[in-house]
A and B are shown apart, each in its own frame.
Chain A
């Protein structure tokens, strides 16, 4: 047994003040940081796609299908970090068999299944249906069959049928927006509802989670668009990019205001926990919270995009600034998740001391597995690009079919 707990021994030395003896082991590791990060990207990418559909923002049309596929790729991976962190992943189906209806976590499976089946897959299917049928008609061999199966052997591409598809997409989008809010707001609730933990326990938690999700989702789609387009030797649509950066900017302003509100609220109320929390923020969390999350992940990109908006900047420079900003935003949002999940476990519930977290590199709950989980959605996305190309030229405009993408 020594080997199982060996890693905890050096931890004893890093404790400051008093912690309950059972608190030495930090229970939610980096995997639980990855989980809300991923669901945030899903919700954010989907909400971006919905902006196109519901508010008919024409400029960002080129990213509509891209956003949907991105959301799908990340959603498929979302349960992995959760499963991997369980002590008994093989029993996880109990969540479906005997869910405790009072438990926020038990709802995960249902929220997830709803979002995957009733929202994302439906919307993608209806949106692509006509194209899939036309692709299948032009293709031969396995691809033909793949697309035939994906179209669920439907073949009606009459105007009436296509009009129905469009209506269906609209309807699903309208259900989809609250669902996306639910998916990620719910993740915030998992933390926000833990009254034992003053760092987590806050009604604002789901809302802060949501807006940071929108921020990260838009930034991700922007990054993918900027990387994928030149790789296909196509021109980046600057109108689209400017609009995306604009959305990103406003979402960040809201996110920033919410977080500031939370901060002021805590300081003003100065509850029992304030002392240990300020010790945490000014000590063990200083770099990841103040420097990375706030400065590098929020203020720098905000200023950069604001400058671009204020001054006329050449397209080349704009692209560079957008790209760097979106990258920094990703880093910032990841550390936001880190600061919530890990930060919330670094202080003792006795409010008298701090513990430490040392990430393992190998091992199921280690860094390598987390990186693998974060890379996986991109591989899935590449495959999706092959099967369901989201690009404009692959789309069949009405009229005689042109070559496939």
Chain B
């Protein structure tokens, strides 16, 4: 009985200490710019639909950030998964591309900023489609190519690496036992290699989504950005609203954690056949 209660309360100990430390420090600092009170931040968080410093509500900004991240991330998945499978399955493709990829992997996404601005400027799918007004324009114009690219770079490599790894780690006995049942090369690829690599690929996609989400703030600091939680943080900083900065950070943290949990749940559902081991 006591044990159950203790294990239930255990995860709450550190957050409680943290919040207490924050509140004490804020009371002592007595300066909203250095460290706002916990209650000030909670007040902003309590009204997520309320417009903030002329930028629309917190939720609207989280929404636009999500759309941007998904845009860049889905591009990364669409490219990295097939490429990784190809590189994992087909040794010449690996030899051809691997050292080239290894050069790009260590470059932080943010380092691409000057090039991205030079190439894409502030263009977006809206400008490519020649839209100038309307709700579609407003939405699409927020998905700047430059931002999508930075997020794309962040998500691309984890997905690529795990796709290659997934294909390479398929157990030989699964391939051979299918070959002796009369499988063709195409059968092996479709019915053995692909489903067997799927768990690795899914894990890579989850990690990639996390990295893509972390690139958000860098991406939204680019010129042409007028919205999004990342931009909200930068803008709140320039108008000395530290409470909104912290609110934005919390929103990024919570959204990221929720996406990760949702992804894990899907993973568990889809990979039920792995059992408990």
**A, B bound:** no
